Amino acid sequence: MSLKARITDDMKAAMRGRANPDEAQRAKEAARLGTIRLLLAAIKQKEVDDRTELDDAAVGSIVEKLIKQRKDSISQFEAAGRDDLVAAEQAELAVLHAYLPEQLSAAEVEAAVAAAIAESGAASARDMGKVMGLLKPRLAGRADMGQVSALIKARLAS
């Protein structure tokens, strides 16, 4: 089953869950449904803009983009002291994380970074683009690229 089909099935399940007589469960499903609808709208918008049917990798990149937006919003809301909005964004973040592939461990990411540095022959921070160019297709969706970038900087600075 494709990722897009799985998201659509989850939306249908969330719609059925809204009929639950339990008030708390119904509210939870309504929030989940809203997040899934937001994701499907972003997917549909990309398909209309590009006039193509998106594959799992493209859908994954949209999920990553929405996750990054939520993380940015959370940091902004925390700085403003808006705990209610932080909680809402974190709930959306949890729903979106379910559609990412299994994340790599820190040790696996470090090993991939070390291998890419050796493969590219990078010696200084100026060579960071070469290393990122190798790692981006290998780790996309499976690791936080911001953390990967910081790890590369640290390795090349030493």
The 10s digit of each residue's pLDDT in 38-68 is 999 999 999 999 999 999 889 988 999 999 9
pTM for this predicted structure? 0.79
Q: Which of 38, 16, 37, 18 is nearest to 27 (CA)?
A: 18
Number of independent structural domains in the chain: 2
- Are 61 and 93 members of one domain? yes
Residue where a domain terminates, one of 97, 116, 133: 97
- Are 9 and 81 members of one domain? yes
Do the Cβ atoms of 55 and 26 come closer than 8 Å? no
pLDDT at position 10, please? 93
- Are 111 and 73 members of one domain? no
Query: What CATH number is associated with residue 78?
Result: 1.10.1510.10
Q: Containing domain of residue 51, as a range?
A: 3-97
The alpha-carbon radius of gyration of the chain (Å, integer) is 19
